[in-house]
């Protein structure tokens, strides 16, 4: 015959029943930091790989990426969207973030470089100069909007310097980010497009680099911790990882250069 449960044992059982879920929850990886990294669309593939390295080194923490055009990300952050790290595709956007007081002091640094290229569908005849864009075969030219996309700003600056902007602008199809430009050209919905060399490599079977475009300013990627970060320690660790040998190898494998 089972012995009756005493009041003392009943209290112990009750306390354990309440405490056990809390103990398990505190031991669960879900209780770790959920680091939000807002990064330029051109960093998508490389950052996903770097995120896996970070999570392996920081068990219990998770990286959540928000990829979009740099200026779109900046607008989101300025309006209070949660983010811990901001990785931009040009210095212009990061300068704005700094002027608006969005960055944690002393956390900004450059971590990668890139090249602007003009791509065409893989079956198109090779080009010899940027000036050919003004000729009739190029009816639709895709590029990121210079108002919101760094690659678009780099492209416009290069075309202005070559005295081609006024002739080419009416033919331009402005995209939300470089990956959209890449899709337009890959699907032959545009005759040419301005993207980064790293983007062109993603769809090597559908597009090819026609010309490497010389830009007035070098293409650099800065990163910084945001002042409103909930996980500054993890954010510092992620930014530090970008300067590590492991991250440099990943970035180089996707065509990014040293800053």
Q: Domains in the chain, ordered, with CATH?
A: 29-113+219-253 (3.40.190.10), 115-213 (3.40.190.10)
Query: Which pLDDT score is estimated for 1?
Result: 45
DSSP string, 214-244: P-SS-EEEEEEEBTT-S-HHHHHHHHHHHTS
Q: Measured between alpha carbons, how far is 148 from 142 in angstroms, rounded to an integer?
A: 14
Top pLDDT among 125 and 240 is at: 240
Average per-residue pLDDT in the chain? 89
Contact 72, 43 (CB under 8 A): no
User: Distance (Å, rounded) from C-alpha 203 to C-alpha 145?
Assistant: 21
Q: pLDDT digits over 151-163, tens only?
A: 999 999 999 999 9
How far apart are the C-alpha atoms of 226 and 95, rounded to whole Å? 13
Instruction: State residue 22's pLDDT score.
Output: 35
What's the mean pLDDT in 102-118?
97
Burial class for 21, CB neighbours closer than 10 Å (0-12, 13-18, 19+) = exposed
pLDDT of residue 16: 38
Residue pLDDT, tens place only, 16-64: 333 433 333 333 344 478 999 999 999 999 999 999 999 999 999 999 9
Place of tokens 């811990």: 84
Check whether 148 has a pLDDT greater than 50: yes
Per-residue pLDDT at 70: 95
pLDDT tens sequence across 197-239: 999 998 889 999 999 999 999 999 999 999 999 999 999 999 9
User: What is the signed CA dihedral for 203, 51, 77, 252, rounded to 10 degrees?
Assistant: -50
Which candidate, 86, 88, 90, places its Cα nearest to that of 238?
A: 86
* Length of the chain in terms of residues written: 259
Interacting residues of 57 by C-beta distance below 8 A, sequence separation 6+: 237, 241
Tell me, rounded to whole angstroms, the distance of Cα 61 from its chain centroid.
Answer: 20
Q: Is the pTM of this model over 0.85?
A: no
In the structure, what pLDDT confidence band is assigned to residue 126 with cuts at 50, 70 and 90? Answer: confident
CA distance 153 to 133: 17
């Amino acid at each position: 015959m089972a012995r009756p449960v005493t009041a003392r044992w009943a209290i112990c059982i009750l306390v354990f029943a309440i405490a056990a879920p809390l103990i398990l929850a505190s031991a669960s990886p879900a209780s770790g930091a959920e680091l939000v990294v807002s990064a330029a669309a051109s960093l998508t593939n490389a950052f996903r790989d770097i995120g896996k390295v970070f999570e392996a080194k920081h068990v219990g923490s998770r990286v959540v990426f928000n990829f979009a055009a740099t200026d779109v990300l900046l607008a989101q952050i300025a309006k209070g969207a949660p983010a811990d790290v901001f990785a931009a595709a040009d210095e212009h956007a990061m300068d704005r973030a700094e002027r608006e007081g969005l960055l944690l002091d002393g956390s900004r640094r450059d971590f990668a470089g890139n090249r602007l290229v003009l791509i065409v569908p893989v079956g198109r005849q090779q080009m010899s100069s940027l000036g050919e864009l003004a000729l009739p075969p190029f009816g639709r030219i895709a590029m990121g909007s210079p108002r919101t996309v760094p690659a678009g700003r780099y492209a416009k600056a290069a075309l202005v310097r070559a005295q081609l902007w006024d002739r080419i602008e009416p033919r331009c199809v402005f995209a939300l980010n470089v990956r959209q430009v890449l899709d337009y050209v890959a699907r032959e919905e545009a005759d040419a497009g301005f993207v980064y060399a790293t983007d062109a490599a993603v769809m090597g079977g559908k597009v090819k680099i026609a010309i490497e475009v010389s830009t007035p300013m070098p293409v650099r990627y800065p990163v910084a911790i945001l002042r409103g970060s909930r996980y500054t320690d993890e954010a510092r660790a992620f930014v530090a990882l970008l300067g590590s040998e492991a991250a440099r190898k990943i970035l180089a494998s996707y065509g990014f250069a040293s800053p």
